Amino acid sequence: MDRALANISVLVLDDEPGTRNFLRRVLAPRVHRLEEAASAEEASRLLDVQHFDLVVLDNVMPGQSGLDWLAEQRRVGLFAEAILITAYADLETAIHALRLGAADFVLKPFRSNQILNAVARCMDQRFLRRENFLLKHELKADAVSARGRLIGDSPGIEGVRRTLARLAKVSTPVLFTGETGTGKEVAARTLHAMSDRAGHAFVPINCATVDPDRLMTDLFGDLSSRRDGILALASGGTLYLDEVAELPRAVQAALLRVVEENRIRPLGAEREIPLNLRFLFATGTDLGKAVEAGRFRRDLWHRINVMTVHMPPLRERVGDIPELAGHLMGLLSRQLGVARLPLDEPVLRALAGYRWPGNVRELKNLIERSLILGGFPPEFAGAARPGDGEPLESLHAVERRHILSVLEACGGNRAEAARRLGISRKTIDRKCAMWDV
């Protein structure tokens, strides 16, 4: 219970000093922050400058009642959970409290375990609603298919890994660039998993596929329906906006303020809500050209372009294709429930000779289609082409001859040969040791 409450902030509103003191002794050691108010006016002033996850309030107070104050605060933008404490448990009060979104009410006088259980139940419900929403969002976005890991040891991928390791220690916004299918979301998930936010949500949004008319409500929430937005629900975690160039201009303006201040104002609300979010962005287009064309805000571009991670296309990391193909073959054969296809030398040689305009995504689609049909298409099956009278040379022989020729051209400089080949220095060393060179 204590772990679930350790990060929440609580506002206690009660005109009786004894009740406030009791609640402070019980709750303050268990929550992140606790503030007290003796009147509705004092509580309103606190809400104007601070955000609270939970309000514990008395109903019968001099001047404005607790429920009237709660109704007033709901109208101006109070999204916090509420627990009513009262000495009068009539049905009308209970119905009114529920309509105002009170999660529970506790009868006076109460013991410490009663209020603690009520607070724990209330926050558990809040966390469950949040997790349920985020899970549904991820399933709807088909983000599960993007889960994976960075595969390969080519210089381009090794460079991405080194950059991600440094970025994991900070919360600076990051822009992932590269052609479609190069693994931008995989890299973003890897960064999230390496950071101290790994225990919180990774929330992906594809800006090209969402309904523009609903995007503001989905992101920021709506006071009229007391519905939290994705930004508030994802707080503590990482928000990944793919195809950010497709954001409507109105959303771009609102997002700029959020990225700069880490605060949001739900639609219709008068108060802002603080956030704790890491922002990651991705684009397959040239944002600079989009800025010049007037499709993307220059100030937002400068704000999200602090750190850029470029994902290399597959044609520049040919040495990674055998490992990528083997990984995808095992993954997809298990998902489809079919036997793996052999990745023999002719097949790998054909894969290495293709340009892959769709990059890793195209490779994945090819392997999935081949598994379903029971074989690779002719152009990848390693069959001899018409007019070929010679048998196909061994892939290992081709690889050895090519690497050694590049090494010779570089005067034996393995680092330079690795750069020209698009593979890592470690791969060169391993191959040379295997060939006793």
Model confidence pLDDT, tens digit, residues 349-389 = 899 888 898 999 899 999 999 999 999 988 887 543 433 43
Q: Are residues 296 and 318 in the same domain?
A: no
Confidence at residue 144, expressed as pLDDT on a 0 to 100 scale: 41
Q: Take residue 427 and report the two structure tokens written for it.
A: 């791969």
Q: Are residues 11 and 57 in the same domain?
A: yes
- Which among 375, 382, 318, 370 is positioned nearest to 345, based on CA atoms? 382
The Cα 307–Cα 330 span in angstroms is 34
Judge whether 239 and 271 are in contact, CB under 8 Å.
Answer: no
Give the mean pLDDT of the chain: 84
On whether residue 387 sits in a domain, the answer given is: yes
Condensed to tens digits (0 to 9), the pLDDT of residues 28-62 reads: 999 999 999 999 999 999 988 888 989 999 988 88
The Cα 38–Cα 309 span in angstroms is 52
On whether residue 33 sits in a domain, the answer given is: yes
Confidence at residue 401, expressed as pLDDT on a 0 to 100 scale: 73
Question: For the chain, what is the total number of helices (H) and then of strands (E)?
Answer: 19, 12
Share of residues in the chain with pLDDT > 70 (%): 90
Q: Are residues 174 and 187 in the same domain?
A: yes
On whether residue 368 sits in a domain, the answer given is: yes
Q: Are residues 156 and 59 in the same domain?
A: no
* Domain enclosing residue 379, as ranges: 314-392
Condensed to tens digits (0 to 9), the pLDDT of residues 188-203 reads: 999 999 999 988 889 8
Q: What is the DSSP letter of 229?
A: -
Q: What is the DSSP letter of 52?
A: -
Query: How many domains does one find in the chain?
Result: 4
Q: Are residues 41 and 160 in the same domain?
A: no
The one-letter amino acid code at 222 reads: D
Confidence at residue 289, expressed as pLDDT on a 0 to 100 scale: 92
Residue 408 sits in a domain of what CATH number?
1.10.10.60
Residue 282 sits in a domain of what CATH number?
3.40.50.300
Q: Are residues 289 and 166 in the same domain?
A: yes
Condensed to tens digits (0 to 9), the pLDDT of residues 255-273 reads: 998 998 888 888 887 788 8
On whether residue 133 sits in a domain, the answer given is: no
Q: What is the DSSP letter of 223?
A: T
Confidence at residue 418, expressed as pLDDT on a 0 to 100 scale: 78
Q: Are residues 421 and 375 in the same domain?
A: no
Q: Which residues, 6 or more positions from 9, have their beta carbon under 8 angstroms from its beta carbon?
A: 31, 32, 33, 34, 35, 50, 51, 52, 53, 54
Residue with tokens 């594809």: 206
Condensed to tens digits (0 to 9), the pLDDT of residues 320-332 reads: 999 999 999 999 9
The one-letter amino acid code at 200 reads: H
The Cα 344–Cα 394 span in angstroms is 10
Highest mean pLDDT among 255-264, 302-311, 387-396: 302-311
DSSP letters spanning 82-104 = EEEEES---HHHHHHHHHTTEEE
The 10 Å Cβ neighbour count of residue 308 is 14
Q: Are residues 84 and 168 in the same domain?
A: no
Q: Are residues 198 and 301 in the same domain?
A: yes
On whether residue 420 sits in a domain, the answer given is: yes
281 has which bridge partners?
Answer: 175, 241
On whether residue 137 sits in a domain, the answer given is: no
Q: Which residues, 6 or more positions from 112, have their beta carbon under 8 angstroms from its beta carbon?
A: 22, 26
Q: Are residues 405 and 282 in the same domain?
A: no
Q: What is the DSSP letter of 386?
A: T
On whether residue 62 sits in a domain, the answer given is: yes
Condensed to tens digits (0 to 9), the pLDDT of residues 200-245 reads: 889 898 888 778 778 888 888 887 777 778 888 888 899 999 999 9
Burial class (CB in 10 A: 0-12, 13-18, 19+), 411: exposed
In this model, does residue 3 exceed pLDDT 80?
Answer: no
The Cα 230–Cα 242 span in angstroms is 15
74 has which bridge partners?
Answer: none
- Which among 158, 149, 157 is positioned nearest to 193, based on CA atoms? 149
Secondary structure of residue 222 in the 3-state scheme: strand
Residue at which a domain ends, from 275, 297, 312: 312
Residue at which a domain ends, from 277, 296, 312: 312
Cis peptide bond prior to 109, omega within 30° of 0:
yes
Q: Are residues 174 and 289 in the same domain?
A: yes
Condensed to tens digits (0 to 9), the pLDDT of residues 163-174 reads: 999 999 999 999
Q: Are residues 55 and 155 in the same domain?
A: no
- Which among 57, 5, 50, 58 is positioned nearest to 32, based on CA atoms? 5
Highest mean pLDDT among 13-17, 95-99, 102-106: 13-17
Q: Take residue 115 and report the two structure tokens written for it.
A: 């209020």
In this model, does residue 419 exceed pLDDT 50?
Answer: yes
Residue 337 sits in a domain of what CATH number?
1.10.8.60
Share of residues in the chain with pLDDT > 90 (%): 40
Predicted structure pTM score = 0.69
Confidence at residue 199, expressed as pLDDT on a 0 to 100 scale: 82
Residue at which a domain ends, from 96, 128, 160: 128
Secondary structure of residue 107 in the 3-state scheme: strand
What's the 3-state SS for 258-279?
A: HHHHCEECCECCCCCEECCCEE
The Cα 79–Cα 215 span in angstroms is 20
Residue 118 sits in a domain of what CATH number?
3.40.50.2300
Question: H/E element holding 207?
Answer: none
In this model, does residue 296 exceed pLDDT 90?
Answer: yes
On whether residue 135 sits in a domain, the answer given is: no
Burial class (CB in 10 A: 0-12, 13-18, 19+), 187: buried
Residue 437's alpha-carbon distances to 73, 88, 432, 434, in angstroms, are 77, 89, 5, 8
Q: How far apart are the first and last CA of the chain?
A: 63
